[in-house]
Amino acid sequence: MAQTIEITDAAAQQIKTILKSETDKQALRISVEGGGCSGFSYKFDLASHVLDDDIVFEKNGAKVFVDKISLAYLTHAEIDFVDNLLNKSFQVRNPNASSSCGCGTSFSM
């Protein structure tokens, strides 16, 4: 089974918008770390280069780097950017998560 993630058009557009002002960066890096109120949490950073264990996903010219260990937790997840009255944020819709916290950045499996 292929390990993939889906990047929405909204997320791709926001990544490109952010990187226009961060000329030394080339991608959004997403990783999964232990912690958060549900056991695991998503970490979002800007990346200046690909690391040896990164898998590169691309949509409409926007790149997302995910390390191989984190990808095991993110397979078939959707990366979106939501802009509503309360906030603007990248969000992960993860079919592997058995539950997630109200903050949207913490999950359990």
Return the higher-pLDDT residue of 47 and 109: 47
Across the range 17-26, mean pLDDT stands at 95
Domains of the chain: 5-104 (2.60.300.12)
Residue 107: is its pLDDT beyond 50?
no
For residue 108, give both structure tokens.
Answer: 């359990």
pLDDT tens track for 64-100: 999 999 998 899 999 999 988 888 889 888 887 655 5
pLDDT tens track for 35-74: 655 577 888 999 999 999 999 999 999 999 999 999 988 9
User: What is d(CA 62, CA 67) in angstroms, rounded to the nearest whole number?
Assistant: 17
Q: What is the pLDDT of residue 108?
A: 46
Sequence-distant (6+) residues with CB within 8 A of 86 are none
Q: What is the pLDDT of residue 1?
A: 46
